[in-house]
C-alpha cells in the first residue's frame, strides 16, 4: 500500500529559486496538511486542506503556497526559497475530520530540503 | 490548546517494559490524548489515543490518570525498533480541523 507519497526525497536549491514539493495519497482522505521539522524540534504546521478547493494557513505559512485541485494531491510551493526554509517537510493525510472525530493522521517519509 | 510536558529522553533495555510519561495538567474535558512516534529518518506514526479509560492496541497501552492530568504510554517489551521520539499530543475534538500540535517529545533509546 502506497499511503502518503512525497517527492522528491532530497533537494538542494539556491536562494531565490522556486520549487514544488509533491504530496499524493491513495486513501481517499479529505484532510491533508504540510508540516516542517527543524533540527531538534517537533513538527510545525504550514498549511492544511479539509477538501478539494479548500485550504487554510497553519502556524508558519509565510513563504509557502498551496492549492488542492484534487482529493489525492496537495503540492507545497516555495516561490522564492530562503535559507530559513532549510528543513524537512512532511505531508500528512487523514479521513474526514469533524466534531468528535479522532482519525489518526498518516505521514509521508519527508522531503529533505537545503537552501544555499 | 492545552500543553503537554514530557521528559527529553529516556533509556530502556531490550525486551523490558517502557513507561513513557506525559503531564497535561490543563487538559479540558473535550481533549483526547494522542501518541505518535517518529523513527529515525521517517515521518511520525500514530500509536494510540484515548479519552478517559485505559486503551490497548497491538503497538502499546495507554494508561490515563483518573483526573486526566497525566498519562503513560506503555511499551510492553521494548525492541531495538522502538527507538524513536515519542510525542504526546492533546487533540480537541470540537475542532473541525483537528490539526496536531507537536512538542519536542521524548527520545527513547533502547539498549541491546
CB atoms within 10 A of CB B35: 23
What cell does B42 get?
Answer: 521517517
Of A40, A58, A100, Cβ closest to residue B99: A58
Whether residues B100 and A43 touch (CB distance < 8 A) is answered with: yes
Q: A106, A27 in Cβ contact below 8 A?
A: yes
Q: Is the pLDDT of residue B1 over 60?
A: no
| Contact list, A56 vs chain B (CB under 8 Å) | 97
The model's confidence at residue B40, banded by pLDDT at 50, 70 and 90, is very high
Q: Is the pLDDT of residue B94 over 90?
A: no
| Contact list, B9 vs chain A (CB under 8 Å) | none
Strand order across the A19-25 sheet: A4-7, A19-25, A76-78, A64-66
**Which pLDDT value is given to residue A98?**
59
**Which pLDDT value is given to residue A96?**
73
The model's confidence at residue A1, banded by pLDDT at 50, 70 and 90, is low
Nearest CA-CA partner of B51 in B34, B76, B74: B34
Touching check for B41 and chain A: CB below 8 Å?
A: yes
Q: Is the pLDDT of residue B98 over 80?
A: no
Amino acid at each position: 500500500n502506497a499511503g502518503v507519497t512525497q517527492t522528491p526525497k532530497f533537494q538542494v536549491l539556491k536562494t531565490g529559486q522556486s520549487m514544488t514539493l509533491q504530496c499524493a495519497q491513495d486513501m481517499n482522505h479529505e484532510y491533508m496538511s504540510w508540516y516542517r521539522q527543524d533540527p531538534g524540534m517537533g513538527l510545525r504546521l504550514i498549511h492544511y486542506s479539509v477538501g478539494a478547493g479548500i485550504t487554510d494557513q497553519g502556524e508558519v505559512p509565510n513563504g509557502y503556497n498551496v492549492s488542492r485541485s484534487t482529493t489525492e494531491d496537495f503540492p507545497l510551493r516555495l516561490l522564492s526559497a530562503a535559507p530559513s526554509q532549510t528543513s524537512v517537510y512532511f505531508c500528512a493525510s487523514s479521513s474526514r475530520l469533524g466534531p468528535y472525530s479522532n482519525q489518526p493522521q498518516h505521514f509521508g517519509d519527508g522531503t529533505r530540503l537545503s537552501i544555499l | 490548546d492545552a500543553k503537554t510536558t514530557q521528559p527529553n529522553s529516556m533509556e530502556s533495555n531490550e525486551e523490558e517494559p517502557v513507561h513513557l510519561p506525559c503531564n497535561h495538567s490543563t487538559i479540558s474535558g473535550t481533549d483526547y490524548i494522542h501518541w505518535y512516534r517518529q523513527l529515525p529518518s521517517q515521518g511520525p506514526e500514530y500509536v494510540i489515543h484515548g479519552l478517559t479509560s485505559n486503551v490497548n492496541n497491538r503497538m502499546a497501552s495507554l494508561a490515563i490518570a483518573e483526573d486526566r492530568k497525566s498519562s503513560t504510554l506503555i511499551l510492553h517489551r521494548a525492541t531495538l525498533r522502538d527507538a524513536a521520539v515519542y510525542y504526546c499530543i492533546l487533540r480537541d475534538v470540537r475542532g473541525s480541523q483537528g490539526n496536531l500540535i507537536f512538542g519536542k517529545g521524548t527520545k527513547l533509546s533502547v539498549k541491546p
